Amino acid sequence: MTDRFDIIVVGGGHAGCEAAAAAARMGARVALVSFARDSIGAMSCNPAIGGLGKGHLVREVDAFDGLIARAADHAAIHYRMLNASKGAAVQGPRIQADRKRYKDAIHTLLDDQAGLHIVEDEARALTLDHSDSVTGLALGSGRILSGKAVVLATGTFLNARMFCGADIAVGGRVGERAAQSLGDQLRARHLPIGRLKTGTPPRLDGRTIDWGVLEEQPSDGGDWTMSPLGPGRAAPQLFCAITRTNARTHEIIRAGLDRSPLYTGAIGAQGPRYCPSIEDKVVRFGDRDGHQIFLEPEGLDDPLVYPNGVSTSLPADIQTALIRSMAGLERAEIVQPGYAVEYDHIDPRALDASLAVRAIPGLYCAGQINGTTGYEEAAAQGLIAGINATAFAGGRAPLILDRASSYMGVMIDDLVLQGITEPYRMLTARAEYRLRLRADNASTRLTSIAQAVGCLGSARADWFNSRIRVREALLTKLEKESVSSERFAEAGVDVSRDGSRRSLFEWLRFPNVDAAAISRVSDVFDNVDPALIAEIAEDAHYAPYLARQEAEIRGLRANESVPIDPALDYRAIAGLSNEMTERLERARPETLAAAGRIRGITPAALSAILVHAKRRAA
Amino acid sequence: MTDTIFALSSGQPPAAVAIIRISGPRAGAALEMLSGRLPVPRRATLTRLLDPVTGEGLDRALMLWFPGPASATGEDLAELHLHGGRAVVARVMLSLSAIESLVLAEPGAFTRRAFEHGRMDLAEAEGLSDLLFAETEWQRRSALVMAEGGLSARVKGWQDRLLGLSAEVEAMLDFADEGDVEDQGESVASLNARIAILAADIRVMLDRPSGERLRDGIRVVLAGPPNAGKSTLLNALAGREAAIVSPRPGTTRDTIEVPLGIAGRPFLFIDTAGLHEGTGDEIEAIGMDRAHAAIGAADVILWLDETSESPAPERTIALYPRGDAEGRSMSPNGDMIVVSAASGAGLDALVAAILERADHLLPRTGEIALNRRQRECLASSHAALQTDDDLLIVAENLRVARADLDRLTGRAGTEDMLDALFGKFCIGK
Ligand SMILES: Cc1cc2nc3c(=O)[nH]c(=O)nc-3n(C[C@H](O)[C@H](O)[C@H](O)COP(=O)(O)OP(=O)(O)OC[C@H]3O[C@@H](n4cnc5c(N)ncnc54)[C@H](O)[C@@H]3O)c2cc1C
Ligand SMILES: Nc1nc2c(ncn2[C@@H]2O[C@H](COP(=O)(O)OP(=O)(O)OP(=O)(O)O)[C@@H](O)[C@H]2O)c(=O)[nH]1
Ligand SMILES: [Mg+2]
């Protein structure tokens, strides 16, 4: 009896935790299966959360009452708003986390979540019925869990191999095992599987670093946080430091290339272009005289330091030499050498836009298994997969976020339509409607959607409902209250005295009129949350551009309404090249607009598809 | 069997060109009956149209054949581009209605058929060949058919430059924190400069007048004070006495248009009334108004007055007239061309200068002539290319500019931009 669940989630990483928690928030009875209870919520690599594009994802998951932002606030020992000097649309909140505090926070959040049960075991195989639908999961202990849907969030663990110089080990993370039998089962079901690699830098003993000679980077002032509902800035703040590689470092690396598995051919899989190993940087951009390296502490009472920027799989002796060639690191000790991991991932084009595996009803995939990299990317997919698995189990329509709604929508659309050629990481450049998809307005964009799918806890719902009221009232006031240019000028705001009268909202579009300027002529902002004021001021500032995008988006959404048969025989359509046919067959777009977004699909090809579909229907 | 419909789909005659569209299963048969053959699909073909019954010649026309389903209506579709006189159009319509199962289309029937065949959403998705439908004018069409490849290549070049610019902006936005991306202030200025250059390059294409100039001729306006010798120069260029010449100032009162072909290029020379303070004479005032209007619409102004500057210097060839007169054989400054309408001296140089201007105003043979829709896409791309100090807005403008070009040649998406980005910079930790 106890082994019956609605939803079974495999993997206690960032994806799995969000999936399980989201499903449980929606009222499902959830099993979260992971190798080791203790490693649930572990950060495999750099203990940092957020950043450009990624910070957006964190805030979006938080808008659905997810875990990652609140846990990050609990663990943060360094806050930094990236791109702070630019428009809010490209500002990326980022924190440096104390690993232990982060894990503790996740454990607390999971333990407090009703309906969520942690099962410490290995997921060995899916159990399927005669029609290939998921019925549950067989565990290493022999136990069988039954469930209506399963979310796979196994990270880098499928058939994983680790490389450090010539040493090769089986395992998804140092000190942990690989998920072999589940990997074998997926391959046997003919799911399209690819292989990717990623790497991690060596960890240094902070007590052996000469901090005194290095440029310090303190935590941001101010009191912004990842989540409005977190504990605030709960932990003491540390500083990071910056050093650089130099000509000698590069010489050492070049001399060692013949011993790097990336260059000896031992690793064939593609790694990420935006997170290149230091070997790659030196080979591809040999003309540069140095690369910045950030030294980031891993925890409050943890001497480990993460040298951000020297991901490598060179042999340990070369790692030591190259680290010691840098300023401040002359006597640094490596505690754990860097290594590369090569692992299986599912071609995400085998999924539909709800993250369901098309070929196996009831199976969902989220996180690094889908070819992404990063905690935030994993968390966001976990959230959506958890919601959609629960919707599926309850016979409800899936939640599909479009590209105009969120970075989550952009990412999933990219994954399921384009597939991947390298580990996928979020970038603000991927979001064409970037101006409206800001980290600071994630709640406004998404929390009402979350509320509609029943994914909010009561504290979040209360917070949101009161925020909506304040926001509406504030907007009304800003639009109603009109002020003359003279009034501003008299208050010392630099505007031309041309006798014009405008609403406060319109005034906010002027470069010299910011929230502080408004407060000099009006009391509308008195006692209002500064975050809300900043959000509205940014909306006003970019209003004409937002309006233009709005019009574009209406067109986009209209095209989304032309469905394409998921079983369409693309080979029967004259005029499609082999390459197009293959891409369409892999991604199986659900609408004409989605087909049009697939790389290489021309307008002419779209018309051919449409005509064919209509002919068949007639 | 569904009816085959036909209708006049251009404006009411008389007009330069009239287009009749025929859509449906018998469209091909109708073409064969009128012209004796079925042309190569999607190519403008010149033909003689004959009445199928009487064999009477109807018109020399251009025909186009779009076999379904890849046509605007999704059915077999034919187009006849006729000389647009009332009689010709009426006569061809009559011949068509005599063909079995061809019926005159109800209003909106083409659109409805397009919709029924799933062609409606294609308003934006037509390939370049579909753009041919937007054409109305036959000289332009033939130029377009030849030049299609050329336009795509040009647009591709701009797309590449836009992608490169976007890549740089995105690198500054997404990887700003990494020392490997160039210093901001300096590169924002350089970016803006390159955006302005790209905008200017696109402007050149937009400014190219193409079809209208081919058809109507390049407008060359002779202007200057009374008695400067404008009419005499016109006559010398035309090789005939097109305008009255006299020693009295104020001889020419109205504008005089003289079409001329020079070296295979079409021109329309326009002589105007002399410009001066005015005596209060009403007719003279009207004449000068017309002269000003002609100058306003001129492609090239021949300005016959060394003592004042042309009202539109950038479109002007400045002349130093009466080169045969005492002491006037040399221009006091090198920019003016010395001409003598009396002796013919300097006319060669003048003609050469006019031809040089003409070559910038006319599409070269086989060169790109934009149709209205292409022009619109380009124009909106150009309009989006505004410089700004806010990188976010620069990025947004570039995105819009790329999307507008994409409408011309098909999509170059975000991934292409990222390829450009990662190829160019060492980014990522
Ligand atoms: C070496 C390395 C370096 C990285 N560097 C970075 C970086 O610098 N920055 C960054 O943002 N991201 C980095 N990443 C990626 C980031 O760690 C992952 O993208 C992210 O953690 C993926 O989350 P996930 O939930 O998909 O999987 P994971 O966090 O990997 O979690 C998978 C979970 O599934 C469990 N599991 C797997 N198989 C089974 C099974 N069969 N039965 C039971 N339990 C199972 C595992 O125990 C684990 O708890 C790196 C990853 C690695 C391995
Ligand atoms: N010597 C000489 N006389 C010229 C030349 N061109 C024009 N003339 C004389 O100048 C007088 C005026 O010439 P027009 O051509 O009528 O001058 P216009 O500019 O048309 O004058 P309006 O029509 O009155 O504005 C005539 O007597 C011409 O013979 C020239 O190149 N050389
Ligand atoms: Mg005259």
Instruction: Note the pLDDT of residue B179.
Output: 46
A599/B415 CB distance under 8 A? yes
* CATH number for the domain that contains residue B34: 3.30.1360.120
Q: Quick one: average pLDDT of A369-385?
A: 96
Q: Is residue B71 part of a domain?
A: yes
Instruction: Note the pLDDT of residue B424.
Output: 47
Residue pLDDT, tens place only, B241-289: 989 999 999 899 999 988 887 876 778 899 999 999 878 888 889 999 9
For residue A264, what pLDDT band results from cuts at 50, 70 and 90? low
**pLDDT greater than 80 at residue A614:** no
Domain with CATH 3.50.50.60 in chain A: 2-197+342-452
Q: Which of A281, A559, A611 sits opposite B117 (nearest CB)?
A: A611
Together in a domain, B197 and B294? no
End-to-end Cα distance, chain B: 67
How many structural domains does chain B have? 3
Instruction: Note the pLDDT of residue B279.
Output: 80
Q: How far is A15 from chain B (nearest CA, A)?
A: 23
If one counts every other C-beta atom within 10 angstroms of the C-beta of residue A492, the result is 8
Beta strands in A290-433 (DSSP E): 292-299, 302-308, 334-336, 339-346, 363-365
DSSP assigned state of B121 = G
| Degrees, nearest 5: CA angle A317-A320-A326 | 145
* CATH number for the domain that contains residue B380: 1.20.120.430
CB-CB neighbors (< 8 A) of A89 in chain B: 392
Determine the residue among B399, B404, B409, B426 to mutate to test chain A binding: the one whose Cβ has the most chain A Cβ atoms within 10 Å.
Answer: B426
Together in a domain, B226 and B341? yes
Q: Is residue B293 part of a domain?
A: yes
Which range (A352-361, B262-271, B389-398) has the least confidence? Answer: B262-271
Together in a domain, B333 and B396? no
Nearest to B368 by CA among B145, B159, B191: B145
Q: Give the Å distances, CA to CA, from A213 to A241, A291, A310.
A: 10, 18, 20
What integer best gives the mean pLDDT of chain B? 79
**pLDDT greater than 80 at residue A99:** yes
Residues in Cβ contact with A560 at an 8 Å cutoff, skipping those fewer than 6 apart: A402, A591, A593, A594
Only one residue has tokens 């005159």, namely B104
Phi, psi of B102 (to 5 degrees): -100, 130
CB-CB neighbors (< 8 A) of B180 in chain A: 285, 288, 291-292
Q: How far apart are CA A77 and CA A63, in angstroms?
A: 23
Instruction: Note the pLDDT of residue A291.
Output: 84
For residue A88, the SS3 value is: helix
Burial class (CB in 10 A: 0-12, 13-18, 19+), A480: exposed
Only one residue has tokens 């159990």, namely A127
Q: What does the CA dihedral A206, A207, A211, A216 come to, rounded to 10 degrees?
A: 40
Q: How far apart are CA B357 and CA B370, in angstroms?
A: 19
Q: How far is B188 from chain A (nearest CA, A)?
A: 13
Q: How far is B8 from chain A (nearest CA, A)?
A: 26
Together in a domain, B105 and B86? yes
Q: How far apart are CA A374 and CA A13, in angstroms?
A: 11
Burial class (CB in 10 A: 0-12, 13-18, 19+), B327: exposed
Q: Is residue B277 part of a domain?
A: yes
Together in a domain, B352 and B246? yes
What would the 3-class secondary structure string for B137-202 be?
CHHHHHHHHHHHHHHHHHHHHHHHHHHHHHHHHHHHHHCCCCCCCCCHHHHHHHHHHHHHHHHHHH
For residue A611, the SS3 value is: helix
Q: How far apart are CA A249 and CA A424, in angstroms?
A: 29
Together in a domain, B166 and B283? no
**pLDDT greater than 50 at residue B148:** no
Distance B220 CA to ligand 2 centre (A): 18
For residue B138, what pLDDT band results from cuts at 50, 70 and 90? very low
Instruction: Note the pLDDT of residue B429.
Output: 35
The first and second tokens of residue B370, run together, are 């934009």
Q: Is residue B181 part of a domain?
A: no
Whether the Cβ atoms of residue B401 and residue B385 lie closer than 8 Å to each other: yes
Q: Which of A428, A545, A603 sits opposite B173 (nearest CB)?
A: A428
What would the 3-class secondary structure string for A10-26 be?
ECCCHHHHHHHHHHHHC
The first and second tokens of residue B21, run together, are 């569209």
**pLDDT greater than 60 at residue B415:** no
Instruction: Note the pLDDT of residue A361.
Output: 95
Q: Quick one: average pLDDT of A99-110?
A: 95
For residue B226, what pLDDT band results from cuts at 50, 70 and 90? very high
Q: Is residue B122 part of a domain?
A: no
A453-553 has CATH 1.10.3300.10 classification: no
What percent of chain B has pLDDT above 90?
38
Instruction: Note the pLDDT of residue B208.
Output: 66
Together in a domain, B327 and B258? yes
Q: Quick one: average pLDDT of B190-214?
A: 81
Together in a domain, B61 and B16? yes
The first and second tokens of residue B420, run together, are 């450009």
Instruction: Note the pLDDT of residue A558.
Output: 65
Q: Is B115 on the interface with A (CB under 8 A)?
A: no
Together in a domain, B403 and B331? no
Domain with CATH 2.40.30.260 in chain A: 203-338
Nearest to A12 by CA among A74, A94, A103: A103
For residue A265, the SS3 value is: coil
- Top CATH class, A559-617: mainly alpha
Q: B14 preceded by cis ω (within 30°)?
A: yes
DSSP assigned state of A424 = B
Say if residue A136 carries a ligand binding annotation. Answer: no
Instruction: Note the pLDDT of residue B143.
Output: 41
Residue pLDDT, tens place only, A409-441: 999 999 999 999 888 999 898 998 999 999 999
Which range (A300-304, A606-610, B224-228) has the least confidence? Answer: A606-610
Residues in Cβ contact with B227 at an 8 Å cutoff, skipping those fewer than 6 apart: B247, B248, B249, B250, B251, B274
Residue A285 is which amino acid?
A: F
**pLDDT greater than 50 at residue B124:** no
User: Is residue B320 left, alpha or beta, with left meaning phi > 0 and alpha meaning psi from -120 to 50?
Assistant: beta
Nearest to A91 by CA among A556, A534, A481: A534
Whether the Cβ atoms of residue A406 and residue A449 lie closer than 8 Å to each other: no
Fold entry, domain A2-197+342-452 = FAD/NAD(P)-binding domain (3.50.50)
Q: How far apart are CA A54 and CA A377, in angstroms?
A: 7
**pLDDT greater than 60 at residue B88:** yes
Which domain does B60 fall in, by range? 4-117
Q: How far apart are CA A215 and CA A537, in angstroms?
A: 34
Of these ranges, A56-70, A179-193, A236-250, B233-247, the one predicted with the greatest mean pLDDT is A56-70
Instruction: Note the pLDDT of residue A507.
Output: 93
The Cβ-side half-sphere exposure at B255, using a 13 Å CA radius, reads: 21
Instruction: Note the pLDDT of residue A342.
Output: 84
End-to-end Cα distance, chain A: 51
Together in a domain, B92 and B140? no
Instruction: Note the pLDDT of residue B14.
Output: 64
Per DSSP, the residues of A235-261 read SPP--EEEEE--HHHHHHHHHHGGG-H
Residues in Cβ contact with A426 at an 8 Å cutoff, skipping those fewer than 6 apart: A53, A54, A56, A57, A374, A376, A377, A407, A410, A411
Domain with CATH 1.10.10.1800 in chain A: 453-553
Together in a domain, B260 and B375? no
Q: Is residue B364 part of a domain?
A: no
Instruction: Note the pLDDT of residue B275.
Output: 93
For residue A102, the SS3 value is: helix
- Give residues (CB < 6 A) around ligand 2: B 226-232, 245-247, 249-252, 273-274, 321-322, 324-325, 340-342
Residue pLDDT, tens place only, A473-505: 999 999 999 999 999 999 998 888 888 899 999
Whether the Cβ atoms of residue A259 and residue A166 lie closer than 8 Å to each other: yes
B300-303/B316-320 β-pairing = parallel
Q: Is residue B416 part of a domain?
A: no
Ligand 2 pocket mutation pick from B221, B222, B227 by most atoms within 8 angstroms of CB: B227
Q: Quick one: average pLDDT of A176-193?
A: 78
Instruction: Note the pLDDT of residue A27.
Output: 97
If one counts every other C-beta atom within 10 angstroms of the C-beta of residue B190, the result is 12
Nearest to A611 by CA among B134, B72, B172: B72
The residue that leads in pLDDT, A614 or B79, is: B79
> Chain A residue closest to B168 (CA)?
A429
Distance A41 CA to ligand 1 centre (A): 10
Q: How far apart are CA A42 and CA A175, in angstroms?
A: 13
Instruction: Note the pLDDT of residue B107.
Output: 55
Q: How far apart are CA B30 and CA B37, in angstroms?
A: 10
Q: Quick one: average pLDDT of A522-534?
A: 91
The first and second tokens of residue B386, run together, are 């505004």
**pLDDT greater than 60 at residue A309:** yes
Q: Which of A294, A435, A611 sits opposite B118 (nearest CB)?
A: A611
Whether the Cβ atoms of residue A380 and residue A57 lie closer than 8 Å to each other: yes
Q: Is the CB of A338 under 6 A from ligand 1?
A: no
Q: What is the CATH number of domain A203-338?
A: 2.40.30.260
Together in a domain, B342 and B382? no
DSSP β-bridge partners for residue A295: A241, A307
For residue A310, what pLDDT band results from cuts at 50, 70 and 90? confident
Which range (A210-224, A230-244, A352-366, B145-159) has the least confidence? Answer: B145-159
Ligand index nearest the alpha carbon of residue A18: 1
